[in-house]
Chain A
């Protein structure tokens, strides 16, 4: 059973860059889609984008100009980089195995954007 774990800073200042890591254990990144999904406090879920095991990506147009999702080079990891964050980016960020439907999720990591 694959397991995912998010990691990164819990707080980021406005206009700065948010960087998160997802570490996958119990399986390989091979031949699958890996997404980042977020949930603002008290609100619903928003798909940010995915990276396929080949390195190809697809992003939500609403975030595409600020987001990069990439694969790690030597470990079972993939990454989220979000530039120029604002308070509206405050959320719990989840990574997930996501071949269309997200069948494995990390526990989530809360990120607060505040000065």
Chain B
């Protein structure tokens, strides 16, 4: 099983700041099969990024994904008030598909 470790657990920032979220895998994530989700309280997660860097439909271009192998990053350039939420990474390179434990971006 591929274990994903996200850091930091909590990121305290202000609107307009740049957020950098890390996701590290216990073994290589092949073919770039890594996704990022945003979850707000009481809501289902929302797909932001798939294939490491492809933005899902309707996702603003302030969200970007990068990385390869075992190290991946979600960057939010210029936080908007609606971006304060919990973010999860997920790999689909190997079974079982697994999620990281989440990073909370708070004001």
Interface range, A side = 20 to 34
Q: How near does chain B come to A61, taking the closest CB pair, in angstroms?
A: 6
Is B92 in contact with A101, judged by CB distance below 8 angstroms?
yes
Contact digits for B45-83, partner A, Cβ 8 Å, 1 yes 0 no = 111001100001000000000000000000000000000
Across the interface, B56 reaches (CB within 8 A) one of A60, A94, A98, A103, namely A103
Across the interface, A94 reaches (CB within 8 A) one of B44, B88, B96, B98, namely B44
Number of CB contacts from chain A to chain B under 8 A: 54
Asked if B37 lies at the interface with its beta carbon under 8 angstroms from chain A, I say: yes
Is A100 in contact with B99, judged by CB distance below 8 angstroms?
no
B1 to A, closest residue via Cβ: A61
Complex contacts, B99 vs chain A, CB 8 Å: 44-47
Stretch from A8-16, A69-77, A105-113 that touches the partner: A105-113
- Interface residues in chain A, defined as those with a beta carbon under 8 Å from any beta carbon in chain B: 35, 44-47, 58-62, 94, 98, 100-103, 105-108
